[in-house]
Chains A and B, each alone.
Chain A
Amino acid sequence: MLWVDKYRPKTLDQVIVHQDIAQNLKKLVPPPIYSFLLLSAFAFLWALWFWQKTLIMALLRQIFGTSAEKVKVENRTWKIDAGSRTIDLELTTLSSTNHVELSPSDVGFQDRYIVQEIIKEMAKNRLIDTKGRKGYKVLVLNEVDKLSREAQHSLRRTMEKYSTSCRLILCCNSSSKVTEAIRSRCLNVRINAPKEEQIVKVLEFIGKKEGLQLPPGFAARVADKSNRSLRRAILSLETCRVQQYPFTSNQAIPPMDWEEYVSEISADIMREQSPKRLFQVRGKLYELLINCIPPEIVLKRLLSELLKKLDEELKHEVCHWAAYYEHRMRLGQKAIFHLEAFVAKFMSIYKGFLIATFG
């Protein structure tokens, strides 16, 4: 078992990093009538994603006891009658007896139907517990910020109408994408990325549990490399453990493969600015994309790699263009065009700068 999963906190009391948030969440048990929870976390997509999930699972466990841990994954097709035609939607849900988790934004522009029909259906059915009291269901919706406007408006209506039988936990990466109407009905919980000291604390905790000898400064170095992502820090600690144990204080911490690859690309770009090189870079970018690295992440990483080597006066301009192409990338469909356009733009700026400086 990976350490990440082994030391994943199961209950709210075991949480080390966001203790204050965990304590606050505990006060929400049992959930009051109004409680729609909006958990928002930004950036470091995968890492915080994992953390949100951890907190939510711990909260559910706190509410429903251990039954919340018995989850099953279901892939269902829903038939939805939309006026003149019927639409088939396929959606994966993760459910236990008391809660259902789903990502309505997976179905793309038809997410409205999911909210209007499926969530309504789930919210309508009330649970009755063994003592005959009326229970409630918890719906966990992922990626609310990716929902379309219409879907968010329908969600608001659903929230109000079925608030007696159903509690919602909404997860998003940025609450600025969630409409004001939904935000104002929710209790906002902001989850920040753990600070480096906190990561060090967790690493030391794991080290103690595993009976490892951590040389001084080693945990700090792992934390520093992790970009404030706890999951990644734990994973790289485990990688180091596999590579070489006992640890030496100057042991190299292996970087992620794709990051290595991006810095290779950036080195290529810096070395030569020509159509031929652009063609080679395109091949490498394709390589990254077919390995399912999200294009936004590639661009962000490429930018930060390039910024490291740039002169002060160019940084601002390059950053501006990165933002420009990033925006267009989200508007468009094919990410490779925009990545390549950014590389071309960068080459032209850099070449111009070199010519102006050295003639």
Chain B
Amino acid sequence: MLWIIEPLASRCAKFRFKLLSEEIMSSRILHICYEEGLTRDAEALSTLSSILQGDLRRDITYLQGGARLFGSSISSKDLISVSGAILLEVTEALYAACKSGDFDLVNKEVNNVIAEGYPVSQMLAQLFEVVVEADDISDEQKACICKSLATADKAGLGITKPKSNNIQQPIPNEPTRP
């Protein structure tokens, strides 16, 4: 919307398309599963909608990929591996390492994440969610962390290529910081 100049916008009728809601998506997916004779457990369904954030086409592609690779019953783990998302445990481990304040521990964890080949942007996004939902850090600390996450994300995704050290940037989780 912002990029369309006013004279053009004023001459058009505007339609807004929202992201699909979870119910609509899951009913559609269940329909496809039924038609294709696939079974997927309830957990897989909820995992998928949390990774996808309202993109139905992606969901269907992953479902098809998963069905092809893992047969007709699909678990949530299979879906995660097809979609390129990261298991929650991995993110949690990195977060715990960051919180410990021990540099070598963090370094080891980061190297591990890189060697496993997880996409950096995905890692940052998931780390962000973990940070936002965490109970044991104050709002101000959260704000600081989010800012450094944003810096790292920009450094990784701008015109440049992501690089290991960008993950290391958001580490300053020293709890003493005001």
Contacts and interface: CB of A to CB of B under 8 A. Distances in A.
B117 A326 contact: no
A130 interface: no
A12 B162 CA distance: 31
Contacts of B103: 312, 315-316, 319
B157 interface: yes
B25 to A, nearest CB: 14
A44 B160 CA distance: 18
A307 B105 CA distance: 13
A270 B68 CA distance: 55
A14 to B, nearest CB: 20
Contacts of A320: 168-169
Contacts of B163: 296, 300, 323, 326-327, 330
B43 interface: no
A97 interface: no
Given A183-B84, A330-B161, A323 B166 contact: yes
A66 interface: no
Interface in A209-237: 228
Interface string A27-61: 11000101100001111100010000000000000
Given A28-B68, A303-B165, A176 B156 contact: yes
Interface string B136-178: 0000000000000000000111011111111011011000000
A185 B83 CA distance: 11
B74 interface: no
Contacts, number: 112
A220 to B, nearest CB: 17
Nearest to B172: A316
B82 interface: yes
Given A43-B164, A188-B82, A190-B84, A175 B119 contact: yes
Interface in A292-344: 296, 300, 303, 307, 312, 315-316, 319-320, 322-323, 326-327, 330-331
B18 interface: no
A34 B70 CA distance: 16
A312 B121 CA distance: 28
A24 interface: yes
Given A316-B103, A323-B155, A42 B118 contact: yes
Contact of A193 (B116, B155, B165, B168): B116
A87 interface: no
A316 B70 CA distance: 43
B47 interface: no
B92 interface: no
B93 interface: no
B166 A327 contact: yes
B168 A27 contact: no
A176 B157 contact: yes
Contacts of B31: none
A303 B165 CA distance: 10
B165 A190 contact: no
B58 A184 contact: yes
A190 B83 CA distance: 10
A190 B81 contact: yes
B54 interface: no
A177 B157 contact: yes
A73 interface: no
A93 interface: no
Contacts of A175: 84, 119, 122
6 contacts: A40-B119, A187-B65, A193-B115, A316-B172, A319-B165, A326-B163
Interface of B: 55, 57-58, 61, 64-65, 68-70, 81-84, 103, 107, 114-122, 155-157, 159-166, 168-169, 171-172
Given A43-B115, A319-B103, A323-B165, 18 more contacts: A28-B68, A28-B69, A34-B64, A40-B119, A42-B120, A177-B157, A177-B161, A184-B57, A184-B58, A186-B61, A187-B82, A188-B82, A190-B118, A192-B117, A193-B116, A296-B163, A319-B169, A327-B155
